[in-house]
A and B are shown apart, each in its own frame.
Chain A
Amino acid sequence: MIDRLTCLLCPIGCELEVETDGERIDVRGHQCDKGPDFAAEEVLRPKRNLAASVPLRGTADRMVSVRLSDRVLRELLFPILAEIAILRPAAPVRRGDVLIKNVLGSGVDVVATRTVD
């Protein structure tokens, strides 16, 4: 079977052609050595990062933006978003602070992407 997909790792967005034949995966069209691993992952178990923005505890609109420390399986995005939705970090928050460690046992953390004093 041949899949066509766009590599998501950088803005170049290489057009990848992935041929799967049982266990074997052939990848064409990548411009860097990360392409084949991405393609295999994308065909079998796609992973994504996510970003959101939550208010500081006790405020309505002093926002801290967050993301995941690494990409997770795509089906975990909405369960993790539900955890982030109830997050109300207390000031001060530094960029890189871990706000939820190992969120839902995914192995990745929810981290602050902004410093708010």
Chain B
Amino acid sequence: MTGREFDVAVIGGGPAGLAAALGARRAGTEVLLLERENRLGGILNQCIHDGFGLVMYKETISGPEYAERLIEDVDREGIKVETGAMVLDLSADRTLRVNSRSGYGLVRAKAVVLAMGCRERTRDMIEIPGDRPAGIWTAGTAQNLVNLQNLRIGNEIVILGSGDIGLIMARRLTFEGMKVKGVFELLPWAGGLERNVRQCLHDFSIPLALSTTVIDIRGRDRVSSVVVARVDERLKPVPGTEREVACDTLLLSVGLIPENELSKRAGVSLSAATGGAVVDDRFMTSAPGIFSCGNVLQIHDVADWASLEGFEAGKNAASFARDGLPAGEKAVRVATGEGIRYVLPQVIRRGIAGVDLHFRVTRPRRNVWIEGRGASTGTTLFRRKFPRLLPSELQKLKLKSAPDEDLEVSAHD
């Protein structure tokens, strides 16, 4: 089986993959965009709320509008698009095994962009004990059922976890006439953006209980109640604080996990901190010619940033497809120090200035310095003060100069 050949193959047609295909195409390469759903747009199709597009289009629009704009560009620019096409396997030599509408076949690409997005963490992954009744969904599944399939998922809702999708769904279900009885968050701070806590919960007097979790689910055929309890600093339930909350539905908004099964098949090194690939400043993974962007690389809180990452990754994949890997490249590594959950990229090529460092802090901080120091000399390469940083917010910081030794990035008061 010889297979079809393309300069750049992009896996996944959401906000990152659409942008990656455009980035590669505008750099003059032949691009194949593969999407396993029957239409492009990815998760944007079910994100009907507004707040998208502020960076890309300088106005606030909904997810479907944002997707359609990108898709119209993709249609205009002569990108080969296949929907209903599932990539079954990817190898380090950039051969894709694809099950598409026309059957099974091979695709060989000079460069590949991974843009498969992420999955939601499930009940099993956080190990909530109790019965196994109907009425338990991840927030994103509920969003799909309500917004795209016109289903009513319940009457009285409890939400565990305060991720953005959970907050958005609290408002959406309130709009649909359901009673959202409360949002319970294990950590002492909200998982989602502050603006969503305010406009999705406060506006409708939906209580948010921090340092509180669900310790039991009750119900025979359908959820009838959950038991919640306060947790201590070690996140263990405090005896005596249990209380039963009657409800028929439990939504989980307890985190997103980059979907890297294909990346693993190709031997791409993954980061334990991000759950995504280890990449260099051009978003290339440890497998030469395989690039990564969007939520499969790191969980974004804003789709626009996933797209911007996609454009860059696509453009850089096009360069690789055309020129291959320059000989004799050297790089420095970027490590995370105290107070930092992760920094990305984890690798910066020597001599490259102007790199955007993405990072998240481990806990909410005020008036905090973010500092990058040389790992061997201790020299400060950059130091910037932020009035407020939250773990829920992905931050960017431009590295003006080119680092010439390994770096460690840390947070200090």
- Do A and B actually bind? yes
Cβ–Cβ contact A8 & B195, under 8 A? yes
Question: In the complex, what residue of chain B is closest to A31 when comparing beta carbons?
Answer: B387
Answer whether A5 and B65 are a contact pair too, CB < 8 Å, given A49-B50, A51-B48, A63-B147.
no
- List 18 extra interface pairs beyond A5-B198, A11-B195, A95-B64, CB under 8 A: A7-B195, A8-B195, A11-B302, A13-B194, A13-B393, A48-B199, A51-B48, A51-B49, A51-B62, A61-B150, A65-B62, A65-B147, A66-B48, A67-B49, A113-B48, A114-B64, A114-B65, A115-B68
Question: In the complex, what residue of chain B is closest to A68 when comparing beta carbons?
Answer: B50
**Contacts A/B (CB < 8 Å), 7 sampled:** A6-B194, A6-B198, A51-B50, A51-B172, A61-B148, A63-B147, A65-B62
B136-166 vs A, Cβ < 8 Å mask (1 yes, 0 no)? 0000000000111111000000000000000
CA–CA, A46 and B199, complex, Å: 10
Residues of A within 8 A of B56 (CB): none
CA–CA, A6 and B54, complex, Å: 17
* Cβ 8 A contact of A6, one of B49, B50, B150, B195: B195
**Minimum C-beta distance from A59 to chain B (A):** 9
Asked whether A43 is an interface residue with its Cβ less than 8 Å from the other chain, the reply is no
Residues of B within 8 A of A55 (CB): 150
A48-70 vs B, Cβ < 8 Å mask (1 yes, 0 no)? 11111101000011010111000
Cβ–Cβ contact B150 & A10, under 8 A? no
Cβ–Cβ contact B193 & A13, under 8 A? yes
CA–CA, A53 and B388, complex, Å: 36
**Minimum C-beta distance from B143 to chain A (A):** 10
Asked whether A15 is an interface residue with its Cβ less than 8 Å from the other chain, the reply is yes
**Minimum C-beta distance from A19 to chain B (A):** 18
Question: In the complex, what residue of chain A is closest to B68 when comparing beta carbons?
Answer: A95
* Cβ 8 A contact of B50, one of A7, A67, A95, A115: A67
Asked whether A74 is an interface residue with its Cβ less than 8 Å from the other chain, the reply is yes
Answer whether A53 and B68 are a contact pair too, CB < 8 Å, given A13-B195, A65-B48, A65-B62.
no
CA–CA, A10 and B147, complex, Å: 23
Residues of B within 8 A of A113 (CB): 48, 61-62, 64-65
**Minimum C-beta distance from A94 to chain B (A):** 10
Residues of B within 8 A of A90 (CB): none
Residues of B within 8 A of A8 (CB): 195, 198-199
B241-264 vs A, Cβ < 8 Å mask (1 yes, 0 no)? 000000000000000000000000
* Cβ 8 A contact of B54, one of A11, A15, A65, A114: A11
Cβ–Cβ contact B150 & A52, under 8 A? no
Residues of B within 8 A of A61 (CB): 148-151
Residues of A within 8 A of B172 (CB): 51
CA–CA, A67 and B312, complex, Å: 31
Asked whether B219 is an interface residue with its Cβ less than 8 Å from the other chain, the reply is no
Contacts of A46-105 to chain B: CB distance below 8 A: 46, 48-53, 55, 60-61, 63, 65-67, 74, 77, 81, 95
Residues of B within 8 A of A115 (CB): 68
CA–CA, A109 and B194, complex, Å: 28
CA–CA, A61 and B146, complex, Å: 10
Question: In the complex, what residue of chain B is closest to A94 when comparing beta carbons?
Answer: B68
B59-84 vs A, Cβ < 8 Å mask (1 yes, 0 no)? 01110110010000000000000000
* Cβ 8 A contact of B203, one of A52, A60, A74: A74
CA–CA, A81 and B175, complex, Å: 7
**Minimum C-beta distance from A34 to chain B (A):** 11
B319-362 vs A, Cβ < 8 Å mask (1 yes, 0 no)? 00000000000000000000000000000000000000000000
CA–CA, A46 and B404, complex, Å: 51
CA–CA, A15 and B198, complex, Å: 11
Residues of A within 8 A of B203 (CB): 46, 48, 74
* Cβ 8 A contact of B175, one of A5, A52, A63: A52
Residues of B within 8 A of A15 (CB): 194, 388
Residues of A within 8 A of B64 (CB): 65, 95, 113-114
Asked whether B301 is an interface residue with its Cβ less than 8 Å from the other chain, the reply is yes
Residues of B within 8 A of A49 (CB): 50, 60
Cβ–Cβ contact A95 & B195, under 8 A? no
Answer whether A63 and B148 are a contact pair too, CB < 8 Å, given A51-B50, A95-B68, A113-B61.
yes
**Minimum C-beta distance from B292 to chain A (A):** 22
Cβ–Cβ contact A60 & B62, under 8 A? no
Asked whether B51 is an interface residue with its Cβ less than 8 Å from the other chain, the reply is yes
CA–CA, A115 and B150, complex, Å: 17
Cβ–Cβ contact B147 & A11, under 8 A? no
Cβ–Cβ contact A60 & B150, under 8 A? yes
Cβ–Cβ contact A52 & B195, under 8 A? no
Query: Which of A8, A11, A49, A53 gathers most chain B CB within 10 Å?
Result: A11
CA–CA, A10 and B393, complex, Å: 13
CA–CA, A11 and B148, complex, Å: 25
Cβ–Cβ contact B301 & A11, under 8 A? yes
Contacts of B156-198 to chain A: CB distance below 8 A: 172, 175-176, 193-195, 197-198
